[in-house]
Amino acid sequence: MAHSVTLIPGDGTGPEISEATVRVLEATGVEFDWDVREAGIDAAEKYGSVLPDDVLESIRRNKVAIKGPITTPRGGGFRSVNVALRKMLDLYACLRPAKYYPGVRSRYKDVDLVIVRENHEDTYAGVEFEKGDPAIRKISDLTEAAGMGPIREDAGLTLKIISEYGSERIVRFALDYARKFGRRKVTAVAKDNIMKFTDGLFFAVARRVAEEYPDIEYQEVLVDNMTMQLVQKPELYDVLVLPNLYGDILSDLCAGLVGGLGVAPGANLGDEIAVFEPVHGSAPKYTGMNKVNPMAMMFSGVMMLRHIGEEAAGDRLEAAMASIIAEGKDVTYDMKPRPDDPTAVGTSEVADAIIARLRA
Ligand code: NAD
């Protein structure tokens, strides 16, 4: 039976990489019933909303979606479709694997990490006050009364919010993921020596939940130490679970360890719904040029195949992509030794080569 999946091509270079990804997914032999939905700038022009209701309805119905990147213009009150999707569908876990494939240009060879980032809380909860907002004066009165001193008159304020509920479900997610995919260790990362009541709470909850998983090794590392550890000996780590801001920063660091944005896949998951997408953005300056690397979205497709129970197809697609990467011939500019390498192929040709490999 065909799998019903919501497909959001996105904007900028999104439609090109989505087309390439759909072709390789279909070439695995798995059947899909694509429910194509528009979101982003183009949708705003046509339907008056960057995130029309039918997009959310489709994802809620199908429970699985794959999306290309969507541009968030700076300023002007334009809401990020990506953040809205995560909030409205309660996709509380952001999953970003960082795995080295031979042939990728990287300083490291022995990296196979998975970042599990909390998606809703922390300084991303959106509880912010602009400089001059009278609310800051009220909060300043409270901090002063509590002996913490006043907040300067010329300060802006963003609150860091970390709850037991949010921490527990992300840590549980990471431990369940480790169990399901045969991983041996989960490392919680925060900075409780400074933020005792937020990061301290995160660690305390993580420690308690980890006791329920005696088969998985559990460890805590301070985030500043972790950045150094990851550039020195990334092979020591396996699954990392982090509050939102540290997760955001370390997932880019980890993408850099294994060849950069062109090959970094991701997923945003809730208890029932999963949305797969590349880590990178819409790279608008390359729109319509058949230039950018479709592999990050294709690897997100590999994750999706495994999520929908098509493990064998996921393994085959991953192996076909790995062999194209190892060969280094039919790859885009970002995977060549020099970005102006004249032998670099385009987005669509990468898909052709992978499909030929799948059929070989
Ligand atoms: P970006 O990831 O789009 O591009 C940064 C640079 O990385 C590009 O100029 C290009 O050199 C390189 N790059 C990115 N993807 C590549 C690929 N597939 N192959 C080869 N090279 C690639 O980041 P940006 O310029 O900061 O963001 C552009 C827009 O995308 C912004 O509006 C941003 O808000 C949005 N964005 C969307 C998502 C999402 O939809 N999930 C994620 C991040 C950024």
Q: Tell whether ligand 1 has an atom less than 6 A from the beta carbon of residue 72.
A: yes
3-state secondary structure of 286: helix
Q: Is the pLDDT of residue 307 over 90?
A: yes
Cβ(20) to ligand 1 under 6 A? no
Residue nearest to atom 37 of ligand 1 (CA): 281
**Using CA positions, which residue lies closest to atom 16 of ligand 1?**
262
Binned at pLDDT 50, 70 and 90, residue 72 comes out as: confident
Higher pLDDT, 238 or 41: 238
pLDDT over 70 at 75, yes or no: no
For the chain, percent of residues with pLDDT exceeding 70: 98
What is the model's pLDDT at position 43? 85
Residue to substitute in 50, 66, 80, 280 for testing ligand 1 pocket (most ligand atoms within 8 angstroms of CB): 280
Distance 152 CA to ligand 1 centre (A): 36
Compute the average pLDDT of residues 275-291.
95
Any atom of ligand 1 within 6 Å of the Cβ of 82: yes
Is any atom of ligand 1 closer than 6 Å to the C-beta of 300?
A: no
How high is the pLDDT of residue 190? 98
58 lines ligand 1 (CB under 6 A): no
Q: Tell the residue nearest (CA) to atom 30 of ligand 1.
A: 281
Ligand 1: centre distance to CA 73 (Å): 12
Centre of ligand 1 to C-alpha 153, Å, is 36
The pLDDT, as a whole number, for residue 76 is 56
Share of the chain above pLDDT 90, in %: 88
d(CA 33, CA 6): 9
As a whole number, the mean pLDDT across the chain is: 95
Helix boundaries (H) for the chain: 14-27, 41-47, 53-62, 81-88, 134-145, 164-180, 199-210, 223-232, 244-257, 295-307, 311-327, 347-359
Pocket test for ligand 1, best of 261, 297, 331, 335 (most atoms within 8 A of CB): 261
Q: What is the per-residue pLDDT for 357?
A: 97
Please give the pLDDT value at position 41.
79
Give nearest CA residue, ligand 1 atom 31.
Answer: 71
Least confident of 73-82, 133-142, 252-261, 313-322: 73-82
Kindly give the number of the ligand 1 atom that is closest to the alpha carbon of 283.
3
| 270 Cβ below 6 A of ligand 1 | no
pLDDT surpassing 70 at residue 241: yes
Neighbours of 286 (CB within 10 A): 16
Ligand 1 pocket, mutate which of 66, 124, 248, 282 (most atoms under 8 A from CB): 282
- For ligand 1, whether the C-beta of 283 sits within 6 Å is yes
- Cα of 149 from ligand 1 centre, angstroms: 41
Read off the pLDDT of residues 78-110 as tens digits, 9 standing for 90 and up.
Answer: 568 888 899 999 999 999 999 999 999 888 998
Tens of pLDDT, residues 42-51:
788 888 888 9
Hey, what amino acid is at 106? S
Residue with tokens 């540290």: 246
Residues 30, 32, 36, 40, CA torsion sign: negative
pLDDT band at 246, cuts 50/70/90?
very high
> In the structure encoding, which two tokens stand for residue 219, read together?
């460890």
| Whether pLDDT at 77 is above 60 | no
The finding on whether 18 has its CB within 6 A of some atom of ligand 1 is no
Report pLDDT digits (tens) over 167-202: 999 999 999 999 999 999 999 999 999 999 999 999
Contact 178, 211 (CB under 8 A): no
Question: So what's the pLDDT on residue 225?
Answer: 98
Quick one: pLDDT at residue 145?
A: 96
Nearest CA to ligand 1 atom 44: 281
What average pLDDT does this structure show over 55-73?
94
Residue 296's pLDDT band, with cuts at 50, 70 and 90, is very high
Whole-Å CA distances, 294 to 25, 181, 282, 346: 12, 25, 12, 9
In this structure, what token pair is assigned to residue 50?
């960057």
Using CA atoms of 269, 238, 309, 316 in order, give the dihedral in degrees to the nearest 10. 120
Q: How confident is the model at residue 260 (pLDDT cuts 50, 70, 90)?
A: confident
Distance 331 CA to ligand 1 centre (A): 18
